Amino acid sequence: MTETTPHVRQDPAPTSPASAVRRAPRSGLRGYRRALVVLTLAVAAWGAVWAVVTPPFQAPDEQNHLNSALRIAHGGGWPAPGDAYFSPGVVEAVEEAAYHSDPPGRWTYRPDARQFVDVEPVPRDERAHIDAATALGDASSGTDVDQMTQHPPLYYALAAGVLRVSGLDDDRWDVQMLALRLFDVLLLALTVPLAAETARRITRSTSAGLIAAVFPLFLPQLGHIMGAVNNDALVMLACAGATYLAARVVTGDLRWRVAVAIGLVLGLGLLTKVMVAFAVPTVVVAYLLARGRSWPARLGRVVVAGVVAGVVGGWWWVRNVITLGAVQPVGILREPETYAQVPDSEVVSTIVEKLAQAFFGNLGWLEVRLPGAWVVAGTMVLMAAGLAALALPGARRASAALLLLPAGLAFGVAYNAWDFHQFSGGIVAVQGRYVFGGVTALAAVFAVAVWQLVGRHRRRTAWAVPLVVVLTLAAGVGGLAWAFASFYRGPGESVGDAVDRWLAWSPVEAPALIAVLVLAVTAWVSALVVGALWPRRLAAPASLDATAGTAPPAAVVPSASPVPTVPTVPSEAPRPVKDAR
């Protein structure tokens, strides 16, 4: 449906000098960028607390990811799928970490299973070191297969670089794990400004950008995974970059350099995991829905982006098909008879339920479950935001393009589970983290929905910022409190007992943990202050409110007066873009 440009009222003549008027947009953007830095630090602090709260190896495949990074760090290369093995050092670390034990918050109690709260932690100075002598495993070591070589090695090469540069490649296993967890937190933090700029590009509202920035705090599972050692952190960053660039395209930025940048981002992402390929439809549709160039010109840019992506990283998957006969080979053989059988009539509902649960909160190895009411509420909020962004005028084209990414990822996970059920009767690989590549798109669409629901009004959108910041921080801190109790507080125990257990398992001493918490609380309080002050920073004269309720115009209608006029939204991006509604 074609969206028309609303009538733009002519603004009154300013009372300030022309030079001050020209400086207003730049000054407004400086304030926005300072606020964005604070909110980015708040999200990063949230991830860092998750990194020190989650017990070792109590996140999906964490021992595999650590093992593969250490293999590269110690010259073990990247073996063919099925030919990589766990190292003796990682096997010892997994045993010391009481990996085969149930956390107290497990969804159902197993009386015959080893309980995490009953395990006495190995003292820090007695924990195993993983060095050149213990970091490599092979078929003769008697260890299990590490299936991570079914993926490309980019994430693991970067993680190995972190260990080598920091000198931790021959340190204790828990210190190595913490270093890589914090590396993933850094990758998470880099997605925050990309989400904010995606929303601001679409709406031309700095307030909408700040709303998108704090969206990750709504998702406890996101903090759990991004605060662990996991290659999905780099997948999320690559998809965030592709999402931002697609938003530029759909709002009219059809420069060749953008097409090349898209190709580079997708190519690097494809050297991490095949999930990044689900960003391709978003890019293609963004070019199809963009305005300002002919069809051949837009298709030419799609081709350029595709060629660059193929040269940088797509070749890996083509090579797999040629040499291994599959796009993604199976790193470890599955045994269908070991999976619980699911009746055909319950397959769809089971997949949907599992995926929603694992997206919002399934800690550990999907065994600590967020209460269902929160999962349902979160799902309904996301669905409502998506429908609002698509139904209400203002940013329907951009929202449609962006939503293809999370929708495609969710469909891919569901189809893979359904396909496995066809020959095994069981359901596998329904993990919400596989959809985290679409979180930046969801953050932007959520911000768009808020902007639309307040009538695209500048001041009302600004007043939504403190509300969203408070709600997200409450959700973020609440999720951490839930996780802490689920991991460390046994039945009938006090909070002090749980704290003592956490300190005993931690890779660092109590003063370092206290410093992390103090810095995190400082970042969160700063975010609350920034959110509270934001509406006052953007306070505008009443004479400007009449025009603020419409979508930002592509250009301001010039005044008949020779006196320079004030732009409708002085603190928004000064450069107009096409089809930014």
**DSSP per-residue string spanning 436-477:** GGGHHHHHHHHHHHHHHHTTT-HHHHHHHHHHHHHHHHHHHH
Identity of the amino acid at 10:
Q
* Residue 468 vs residue 421, higher pLDDT: 468
Contact by Cβ (8 Å): 483, 227: no
- Cα separation, 434 vs 457, in Å, equals 35
CA quadruple 86, 87, 91, 96: dihedral positive or negative? Answer: negative
The pLDDT score that the predictor gives to residue 27 is 57
User: Is the pLDDT score of 178 beyond 50?
Assistant: yes
List, for residues 181-200, the tens digit of each pLDDT value. 999 999 999 999 999 999 99
Kindly list the distances between the CA atom of residue 226 and the CA atoms of 50, 60, 187, 532, 565, in Å, as whole numbers in the listed order. 8, 11, 8, 28, 47
For position 474, what pLDDT does the model report? 98
Average pLDDT of the residues in 54-59: 97
Mean pLDDT (the chain, rounded) = 88
The answer, yes or no, to whether residue 410 has pLDDT greater than 50, is: yes
Q: What percent of the chain has pLDDT over 70?
A: 87
Q: What whole-number distance in Å separates Cα of residue 282 and Cα of residue 405?
A: 6
Q: Which residue type, as a one-letter code, is found at position 566? A: V
- Please indicate whether residue 308 or residue 555 has the higher confidence score (pLDDT): 308
Domain spans in the chain, listed from the N-terminal domain onward: 18-537
Q: How far apart, in whole angstroms, are the C-alpha atoms of residue 434 and residue 450?
A: 26
pTM of the shown model: 0.89
According to the model, what pLDDT value does residue 337 have? 67
Burial environment of residue 8 by CB neighbours within 10 A (0 to 12, 13 to 18, 19 or more):
middle
Angle between helices 280-289 and 396-424 (to 10 degrees): 150
More confident residue, 570 or 84: 84
pLDDT exceeds cutoff 90 at 311: yes
pLDDT average, residue stretch 415-432: 90
- The answer to whether 581 and 395 are in contact (CB under 8 A) is yes
Query: pLDDT, tens digit, for every residue of 445-488?
Result: 999 999 999 999 999 999 999 999 999 999 999 999 999 999 99
Neighbours of 403 (CB within 10 A): 21
What does the pLDDT read at residue 48?
A: 98
Q: What pLDDT shows up at residue 10?
A: 35
Residue 119, pLDDT > 50, answer: yes
Is residue 541 within 8 Å of residue 157, measured between CB atoms?
no
Q: Encode pLDDT of 85-111 as tens digits.
A: 999 999 999 999 999 999 999 999 999
pLDDT of 12 higher than 60: no
Tell me the DSSP string of 235-247: HHHHHHHHHHHHH
> What gap in Å lies between CA 150 and CA 121, rounded to an integer?
33
Specify the pLDDT at position 25: 55
pLDDT at residue 213 tops 70: yes
Is residue 291's pLDDT more than 90? Answer: no
Q: Are 7 and 552 in contact (CB under 8 A)?
A: no
CA distance 157 to 117: 35
Q: Token match 């964490």: residue?
A: 62
SS3 of 1, please? coil
Cβ(260)–Cβ(302) under 8 Å? no
Quote the pLDDT of residue 13: 37
Residue 539: per-residue pLDDT: 62
